[in-house]
Amino acid sequence: MRRSLLVCLCLTLLAAAWPTPATLAGPVLDRVAESGVLRVGATLDNPPLTFLSRSGQPEGYEVDLAKMVAGGLGVKLSLVSMPYDQLLPALAAGKVDLVVSAVTMSPDRNRQVMLVGPYLLTGQSILTSESLLARLTEDFDHDSPELVIAAAKGTTSAEAVRELFPKAHLVEVADQEAGLKALLDRRVDALVADHNFCVVATLRFRSQGLATLPKPFSTEPLGVGFSEDALFYNWMENFFLVLRSTGRFDVLRQKWLESPAWLVELPPDKLL
């Protein structure tokens, strides 16, 4: 408790001392300062990173992070929900100011947008039945045209399926929850998705016999996506440095990735 209070105090002092948007200059920062609103693109369907709670409010690790960024800038936060494959195009079109939604800091992505981070290290995992998981992870020799694997469209999950299971039939779904539904309905044999999502799915559907890897099979640093604004990029680098030094990222990890307490916030009509 004392650690949490200390962190909150540090962030309060930081916000008071940090330059306000009016004192900064840059194309995106100017727009944010003029409107008084930071528009952040996110999918809001990737618990525990982003999701809508029982009361319909955005929750999750990345939602809390977006709130911190808006607070540091002294502006209001507007979360703009859209499918994952529309996030970076929306950023390029100026429809959002930032993207905070499990964007992997890969060379391909970095050719499209500026990325600051990482704020979290994650990776890909496989969600399937215990028996199939054992066969798939032996040496990947069970790759075949009869194997049907789901992955969210436009994500590194889909890229991983193409690389690891080139013979398998890839079903690209709208999002990870759609892939989970397809798996539970037995329309696909497996789902490749973010490791945290897979772990949560095994906890929530333990009776269905779902299993996932103990650790992700890839390492993916997640970063915040920017359109070109060098000053905003520099501001975010410095802000992340303060969050790390005050232990705020540790608090987020404990709240969303190490404690199961947040699971009660998931709507009963949603899979995840």
Instruction: Cite the DSSP H helix spans in the chain.
Output: 2-17, 27-35, 61-73, 87-92, 107-112, 130-139, 156-164, 176-184, 195-204, 230-245, 248-253
> What is d(CA 9, CA 14) in angstroms, rounded to the nearest whole number?
8
Q: How far apart are CA 165 and CA 213, in angstroms?
A: 16
Q: Over pLDDT 70: what percentage of the chain?
A: 88
> How confident is the model over 212-226, as a mean pLDDT?
92
The full DSSP string for 33-62 is HHHTEEEEEE-S-BTTTBEE-TTS-EESHH
Over residues 174-196, the mean pLDDT reads 94
Mean pLDDT of 93-107: 92
Collapsing DSSP to helix, strand or coil, 168 comes out as coil
pLDDT of 268 reads 78
Q: What is the mean pLDDT of the chain?
A: 86
pLDDT in tens, 108-148: 888 888 999 999 988 999 999 988 888 877 655 567 888 99
Q: State residue 40's pLDDT score.
A: 97
Residue 214 has pLDDT above 60, yes or no: yes
Q: Band the pLDDT of 157: cuts 50, 70, 90.
A: very high
| Residue-level pLDDT at 50 | 93
| Bridge partners (DSSP) listed for residue 50 | 46
For CATH 3.40.190.10, the residue range(s) in the chain are 2-122+221-265, 124-212
Question: 124-212 belongs to which CATH class?
Answer: alpha beta
pLDDT of residue 136: 77
Please give the average per-residue pLDDT across 59-77, as a whole number. 96
Top-level class of domain 2-122+221-265:
alpha beta
Looking at residue 272, what is its pLDDT? 66
- 20 versus 76: which is more confidently predicted? 76
Residue 172 belongs to what H/E stretch?
A: strand 169-173
Does the pLDDT at position 83 exceed 60? yes
At 76, list the tokens.
């209001």
13: pLDDT strictly greater than 70: no
CA-nearest of 180, 203, 176 to 258 is: 203
pLDDT at 20 > cutoff 70: no
Residue 203 banded pLDDT, cuts 50, 70, 90:
confident
How far is Cα 232 from Cα 33, in angstroms, rounded to an integer?
12
- Element (H or E) spanning 254, and its range? none
pLDDT digits (tens, 9 = 90+) for 21-37: 444 457 888 889 899 99
Contact predicate 64/50, CB 8 Å: no
Nearest alpha carbon to residue 76 among 46, 22, 35, 130: 35
State mean pLDDT over 242-253. Answer: 94
User: Can you give the pLDDT at residue 244?
Assistant: 93
Bridge partners, residue 128, by sequence: 211
Which has the minimum average pLDDT: 21-30, 41-50, 94-103, 197-206? 21-30
Q: What is the mean pLDDT of residues 35-59?
A: 93
